[in-house]
Amino acid sequence: MKNSRQFLFRGLLAAALLSAFGAHGGESAPAAHQAQLIGRFAAGVSAGTAEIVVFHPASQSAFITVDTRSQPSSFQRISLRGLGSSALTNPTQASNLASGAITSVASDVNDAGFSAGGVQSLDISGDLLAIAVQASPKTDPGVVAFYRLDGQGNARFLKKVVVGSLPDGLKFSPDGRQLVVANEGELSVSFATDGIDPLGSLSVIAIKQGLPADQAVTLDFSDFNAGAKRSIELPAAVRIGRIGATVAQDLEPEYVSISADSRKAYVTLQENNAVAVVDLRQPRIERLLPMGVKDHGLAANALAASDQAKPPLALKSYRNLLGLYLPDGIATFRVKGKEYFITANEGDDRDDFQKPGETARVSSLALDATAFPDAAALQANTELGRLTVFNTMGRNSQGRYEKLYTLGGRSFSIHDARTGAQVHESGSALERLAYSRLEPGLLNHAQVKGRLDNKGPEPESVVVGQVGKKLYAFVGLERASAIAIYDVSRPAAPRFVQWLQNSSDLASGDLSPEGLAFVPAAQSPTGNALLLAGYEVSGSLAVYEIR
């Protein structure tokens, strides 16, 4: 999810000179639908444009966040009306979608008591658009700005509603009666000197007859603090990362997804390696689900851990190397009446704010000789030496590391929403797909290999949509500049379908997918389902048709 750090990612994985549209390899499911690129908005864009995208069926428009130097704290309409089904003939250069009106959210919400510090995300229910706006400074309470959209996509400001610190992800319930906001409560940019760490929280805004309430119900995690009335309910495996932080300070909500019956919200707590389940009927935080660890000692979970290895890159397994999933994006879906959620396991740390940081390279750590009898070989730069791990976990009483915990699962996971049990983990599949599609020359480039020692291709976002009788998950890989499509009609046994990548160099095409939106065929201007993808670094918007 876009955050206040406004990273311009430079360690991009470039695509090989392969088709952006066809399925690859022997893993493709028979009779699966295929996606092709039919639309792009790429003229005059830059980083900070189109990071998050949503669709408005009535006006046949996409709405994107805009947060650039010239247009801060804004959103823009891009019309898809009249969009055809023909594949773009020059996909990395084409821009066949016209620029629509840009709305300055800051001019609508700023007053003596509030100053906009950026827009984070947006969602639409019916003709109601909601957009999350962080404050300046970001540690102050943010707001959600609401707009009414007409049949042409023109936006009329309605009101703002105060929520928690750094509202990030937000989602309307399927029945349109509530908006759930994940308030990240991120550390101050100058935390090392000012010590400001606001509470992470969730805000629920009631919607009645299409109008949002004037006030939100904001839930924080104070009841889970040590000694508080629900402290016994805090699972030990939920990671509390900052020394001295309360649970309520340390938990940082990120992405939101809501069950089909509108009764439950599922919210990723990325840095805490957990998902919060929220009962929306009350509303209250029902429970916290730890995501557990991934064993990279298993062959199925092999990884490419060194940015100094020479191609072809080998995926290897390592004993006592574990991964914290640290999920970012999340989506819910239902199969045969049973609810599931799927997470994109990106990984994240707080080193930008904490001094000293919470991570280190394996080469700098004292490894336990019993756990790592081959420590000298492992700590070579071409093995694990360059890999980033948490320096706060895995030490024994002698201060030596018996286990190593790296950041992110480099994968997606599917969970039973009722129990939280993991029913599928993609293992090394995403890395294997990514690296097999890059030519040797690109694999040997520093910008291509630069993330292997830190989260790999970085699964960032995920959406699920139904096409015909099949359910597909679309997983955005931020560093790989790609989207992997899987058939999840059988949640315990997903099947890879297609790899979407629209760049053959580091200068053109669509770079670093951030926000994804699925458009069902019944709402699509082409009559077929669409995938809308916003790209953080290129600032472009891509429209794929799925047939």
Domain residue limits at 90: 35-291+326-347+408-546
Q: Tokens 């989260």 sit at which residue?
A: 455
Tell me the three-class secondary structure of 53-88, residue by residue.
Answer: EEEEHHHCEEEEEECCCCCCCEEEEEECCCCCCCCC
482: in domain: yes
pTM: 0.94
Phi, psi (degrees; rounded to nearest 5) at 66: -135, 120
Cα–Cα distance between 542 and 21 in angstroms, integer?
A: 13
Neighbouring CB atoms inside 10 A of 162's CB total 18
Does residue 541 lie in a domain region?
yes
178/255 Cα distance (integer angstroms)? 16
Q: Is position 391 within any domain? A: no
pLDDT values of the chain reduced to their tens digit, one per residue, 547 residues:
554 444 333 333 333 333 333 333 334 445 789 999 999 999 999 999 999 999 999 999 999 999 999 999 999 999 999 999 999 999 999 999 989 999 999 999 999 999 999 999 999 999 999 999 999 999 999 999 999 999 999 999 999 999 999 999 999 999 999 999 999 999 999 999 999 999 999 999 999 999 999 999 999 999 999 999 999 999 999 999 999 999 999 999 999 999 999 999 999 999 999 999 999 999 999 999 999 999 999 999 999 999 988 777 889 999 999 999 999 999 999 999 999 999 999 999 999 998 899 999 999 999 999 999 999 999 999 999 999 999 999 999 999 999 999 999 999 999 999 999 999 999 999 999 988 876 665 666 555 567 889 999 999 999 999 999 999 999 999 988 899 999 999 999 999 999 999 987 767 899 999 999 999 999 999 999 999 999 999 999 999 999 9
Calculate the alpha carbon distances from 230 to 235, 247, 544 in Å. Answer: 11, 11, 46
CATH number (domain holding residue 529): 2.130.10.10
Contact 257, 171 (CB under 8 A): yes
Q: Which tokens in the block code for residue 184? A: 């990240």
The tally of domains found in the chain comes to 1
Question: Is residue 16, in this structure, part of any structural domain at all?
Answer: no
Q: Is residue 354 part of a domain?
A: no
> Domain for residue 402, yes or no?
no
- What pLDDT was estimated at residue 254? 97
Residue 281 lies in a domain: yes
485 alpha carbon, distance to own chain's centre? 15
Query: What pLDDT is stored for residue 5 in this prediction?
Result: 41
Q: Is residue 387 part of a domain?
A: no
Measure the CA dihedral 94/98/101/105, to 10°: -30
What DSSP state is assigned to residue 238?
S
